[in-house]
Copies of this chain bind each other. A is one copy, B any other.
Amino acid sequence: MKVCKFGGTSVASAEQVKKVAAIVQSDEQRRFVVVSAPGKRDSADIKVTDLLIDLANAVIAGEEIEDKIQAVVKRYEENAQGLGLDREISDIIEADLRTRCEQAIKVSPEYVLDSLKASGEDNNAKMIAMYFNSIGIEARYVSPKEGLVVNEPPARTMALSEAYNNLSSLKDSNEIIVFPGFFGYTAQGVLRTFDRGGSDITGAILAAAVGADIYENFTDVDCVFSANPKVVNNPAEITEITYREMRELSYAGFSVFHDEALMPVFKLKIPVNIKNTNNPASPGTRIVSESTINRRPVTGISADAGFSILYVSKYLMNREIGFGRKLLQILEEENISYEHTPSGLDDISVIIRSHQVDPEKEQRIVKRVYDELHADDVHFRHGFSMIVVVGEGMNNNTGLAARAATAISRTGANIEMINQGSSEVSLSFGVKQQFEDAILKALYEEFFQPVNV
């Protein structure tokens, strides 16, 4: 049994929705279809979600909304016409939008935004279910109201454990289930959107609930690449990647999934298959819990700019039990998360994302470290990039770190920081930002383009 999630561009137009139908029809294992709101049909287009946000803001501001409602309805209508559906669905959608505008404003401005944004997925699911039936695919729209129970605010929206129990009965359905992504309902019936991971997380929840054999995630690319294609020419396609590798690569250039989205399937070790709606024959990239095929030692290389280093030194630091812990506590109290903490005997560096600090905060932290930890030297340095070489096959691969460091040194860059833990799934290098692209290219050449002698 497969749960298939289709992203915004996969359901942007009638033509795209027909591809979705063909994909579902081509494999009887595909019993669950999770859909996003219609995305952009071309680069000049506006996503339905953005039209809905525009409408919500008008409702909140008490402005005229008629044109904005019509703009949304028109998008659905165009798709409906292209799919050969009659006006009924457009009327349903228009009525739904008007009800949401009227009801939601009585709750709160935030709720207007949530409710209208969620309507993008919700109404699209209704229309796609209707289309499936019109061409002979027995399908049923299911609302998240039928079981996708989420927690109460203000905590970030998450599915409760009963959601999985509730939704599991759907696996016995004779019809294809068409389910809108992106939102659920509290036990009190209040709609809440997933602020991160959106429709991906709905698909993962459903896949986990019904015990899917695979979670197919349809998007508009054939696969995940082993390096950022904007920097490296024609990087190798990744056919299989482990969850761990995927996570370690989740720096820039690899933001295929929001990292929390896969949690439900990760826990049950359900493989994920990233596929292309526009080229479903391509095998895509499989995300698995354990590597099943022989692969290169390195699976991917990611790089990201915008890192800073907090450097702290103190003579006899290593004699002070608790020094590192106290330093991290100060950062925690400043609400700063860190990436790595390489250390010498008398010094420790904390690598953080630069956006977390400003000059005032830096000054405060530096002062606290001097005052509370009696350090000899405390300062921030900025403008670093992190390059991460990732691969399950790196473990026990003698000489791989040497090859990586040698490749970097060929660019003339100095390695400011190296981090390799004993899991050895990743090897991180901190370098000055200006060397980032050159290093990414050099590492790619080293591990993916062995020179023919």
Contacts and interface: CB of A to CB of B under 8 A. Distances in A.
Nearest to A412: B398
B309 A422 contact: yes
A347 B427 CA distance: 12
Given A343-B340, A344-B248, A426-B345, A418 B406 contact: no
Nearest to A425: B344
A230 interface: no
Interface in A284-343: 309, 311, 313, 315-316, 318-319, 321-322, 324-325, 328-329, 332, 335-343
A201 B40 CA distance: 74
B426 A398 contact: no
Contacts of A342: 340, 342, 419-422
Interface string A370-405: 000000000001000000000000001111011001
Nearest to A428: B344
Contacts of A415: 398, 401, 420
Nearest to A415: B401
Contacts of A349: 421-423
A145 B250 CA distance: 65
B259 A316 contact: yes
Contact of A406 (B248, B406, B417, B419): B406
B341 A341 contact: yes
A215 interface: no
A68 interface: no
A35 interface: no
B313 A338 contact: no
A243 interface: yes
A321 B343 contact: no
Contact of A419 (B313, B329, B343, B408): B343
Contacts of A430: 422
Contacts of A413: 398
Contacts of A257: none
A304 to B, nearest CB: 12
A138 interface: no
Contacts of A420: 342, 415, 417-419
B425 A421 contact: no
Nearest to A243: B315
A424 interface: yes
A346 interface: yes
A437 B142 CA distance: 66
A25 interface: no
A347 B419 CA distance: 12
B398 A319 contact: no
Contacts of A398: 409, 412-415
A421 B344 contact: yes
A408 B397 contact: no
Nearest to A341: B341
A349 B425 CA distance: 12
A52 to B, nearest CB: 29
Given A316-B263, A406-B406, A413-B398, A419 B418 contact: yes
A309 B424 CA distance: 13
A41 interface: no
22 contacts: A247-B316, A247-B346, A250-B345, A259-B316, A260-B319, A263-B315, A322-B328, A325-B329, A341-B343, A343-B419, A343-B421, A344-B425, A397-B414, A398-B414, A398-B415, A399-B405, A401-B415, A415-B420, A417-B422, A418-B419, A419-B419, A419-B420
Given A250-B345, A340-B342, A341-B341, 4 more contacts: A322-B332, A325-B328, A399-B406, A415-B420
